[in-house]
Structures are given as C-alpha cells and as structure tokens.
Amino acid sequence: MKPEHVALLRQALPYINRFKGKVFVIKLGGEVARTPEQLAAFCEQVALLWQVGIRVVLVHGGGPQATEMAERLGIKTRTVDGRRITDDETLDVAKMVFAGKINVEMLSVLRRYGVAAVGLSGVDGDLIEAARRPPVQVGRKVVDYGHVGDIQKVDPGLIHTLLGGGFLPVISSLGADADGNIYNINADTVAARVAAAMGAEKLVLASNVDGVLEGETLRSRIKIDELEGLIGAGTIRGGMQPKVSEAAEALRGGVVSAHILNGMKPDTLLLEVFTDDGCGTMIAR
C-alpha cells in the first residue's frame, strides 16, 4: 500500500465512526445496473459500506431493462413527453424485470462480496401503499399514465426486521393498494420515502450524471431553498427533477443529507461518503 492510500484510510476513519450503525438508503438508476461489470463495481462499494457497519438499504427501478425486455417480447412501449405509459402488458414486464431479473442479479453480486441480501418489492410486507395516479393535464392533452402509483404510506417494519437480522434489503420499485392492484412507482420516490420513514442518515441517488449540473458546472452543494428556482428556470428538468424534489422532501422529513452522484464512474460512492470533498452533489437543509 502506498503512503497516500494510508492517508486516505485515515481520512475515512472519522466518517466510519460517525456513520457506523446509521441507515443509508441508496438508489441505483437503471443505467448503473445495466451491465454486470457496472453493477459489480457499484455493489462492491455498497459491500464496503455494509462491512464497516453502515445499515444500507438498496432501491432500484430498471427503466432501460424494462424497455429492452418489452422489445424482446414484441410489446410496444408508449411514452408521452418521454414518460412511459404503464399499460397492462408493460406492468407485467415491470413485475418480471424489476422484482425478477434485476433484483435477483443484484442479490447474487452482493453475495459474491460477502453480503447476505434479501430481495423484495414494495408489495412485500405492506412496505409501499400506493394509489393510482389520476390522469394529468399535459399541455392540451389529458394523459393517463396507466398503472403508475403515487405513494400514500410507507411501513418500514419489514426493513427493520431484515436489518436487525443482518440482511441487506434490496427493494424494487413496485407498490400495491389494499384492493391488490400493483403499481409501477418511480424508484427515486420509493428511495426518498423509505429514507424519510426510517429517519435515514443519508439518501444517495446514483445516476448516470455527475450530479446536478448548472450549465456545464457541477454544483457540489445545494441548499433546499435554491431548488425551486433551478427547476423554475429549467436548469433542473427531466429525470433530475423528481430526484431533487424527492430529496428535498426527504430532508424536510428528517433525513440528514441527500446526495446525487454518478454511479457509472469508479469509486464515486466511497468518495462521496468517506472524503471531505465528495464528488457529486450534496443537498442539505
């Protein structure tokens, strides 16, 4: 080991002391789980956090993988303004891909790094209670997104039980209502609400961009009060908008800090957690 590596380890020590036993809810974007190499590189970092005593809860969706599978099955994906419509067939694909393929692949990678992980969706143990999103006005059109759910309630009981038993929960972004209807839910939203319900120390959203960009510039820190302005000005849009809005809600709900980072680049999770400068965007109250 080179001296600079030892220095890095020493720099991590106060963070390890501070975060040991705390809950981190970490969400991986679809792109991060797309290739086995990418997924392995990310899960290795998760395993390190876990092994130093951080109670990690993983959340994932899998938009790109669902689209791929739909194509293989000859199912057309309908989108309005870049947003997927979840019709009956698309919901079936979401169930198979989110709660099936991606989830079990993540468990096996974690197992390889010595972490006993348990896969579940928001339907298990009444974790996520959702309601069908009412049709929304988009410009002149009224758009019905189909089986897309908004979260009504989170019951983290099962997650506490798993963590208490030494298991790392891996949650896919589905939810259900009391009548047994299953819904596709934005994974950023699931992660943020679970983080708030658990009083998590950190909410980490790992995506395919370095963080919140203002033009070309990466914002390494943003205060909650700045977010509305950035959204209003169109600086934050698309898939970044639910991330920052949900992160802000989670912070108001008691989560200590929220981080958006690039899960496609090596070591970003560890850098963000264990170094003074970090590498992505930190949102704080």
- The site for ligand ATP (CB under 6 A) is made up of 29-30, 61, 63, 187-188, 207-209, 212-213, 235-240
Q: Which residue is nearest to Mg ion (CB)?
A: 239
Binding at 235: pick from ligand ATP, Mg ion, none (beta carbon under 5-8 Å per type) = ligand ATP
CB nearer to Mg ion: pick between 64 and 239: 239
Q: What is the 3-state secondary structure (H, E, C) of the chain?
A: CCHHHHHHHHHHHHHHHHHCCCEEEEEECHHHHCCHHHHHHHHHHHHHHHHCCCEEEEEECCHHHHHHHHHHCCCCCCEECCEECECHHHHHHHHHHHHHHHHHHHHHHHHHCCCCEEEEECCHHHCEEEEECCCEEECCEEECCECEEEEEEECCHHHHHHHHCCCEEEEECEEECCCCCEEECCHHHHHHHHHHHHCCCEEEEEECCCCCEECCEECCEEEHHHHHHHHHCCCCCCCHHHHHHHHHHHHHCCCCEEEEEECCCCCHHHHHHHCCCCCCEEEEC
243 as an active site residue: the answer is yes
Pairing assessment for the beta strands 202-207 and 257-262 based on DSSP bridges: parallel
Selecting among 63, 175, 211, 263, the annotated active-site residue is 63
Shortest CB 174 distance to ligand ATP, Å: 14
223 has catalytic annotation: no
From the candidates 29, 62, 175, 188, give the one annotated as an active-site residue. 188
Between 61 and 169, CB nearer to ligand ATP: 61
Nearer to ligand ATP, 29 or 163 (CB): 29
22 is catalytic: no
Task: Tell me which of ligand ATP, Mg ion, none is bound by residue 18, counting a contact when its beta carbon lies within the kind-specific cut-off of 5 to 8 angstroms.
Answer: none
Q: Tell the smallest beta-carbon distance from residue 17 to ligand ATP (Å).
A: 31
Indicate the residue among 34 and 55 with the shorter CB distance to ligand ATP: 34
Instruction: Check if 141 is active-site.
Output: no
- Name which of ligand ATP, Mg ion, none residue 207 binds, using a CB cut-off of 5 to 8 Å depending on partner kind: ligand ATP
Q: Is 188 a catalytic residue?
A: yes
Smallest distance, ligand ATP to C-beta of residue 62, A? 7
Q: Are 274 and 12 in contact (CB under 8 A)?
A: yes
As measured in angstroms, the least distance from the Cβ of 268 to ligand ATP is 13
Residues that bind Mg ion (CB under 5 A): 239
Nearest CB to Mg ion, comparing residues 27 and 202: 27
Give catalytic residue positions. Answer: 27, 30, 63, 188, 243
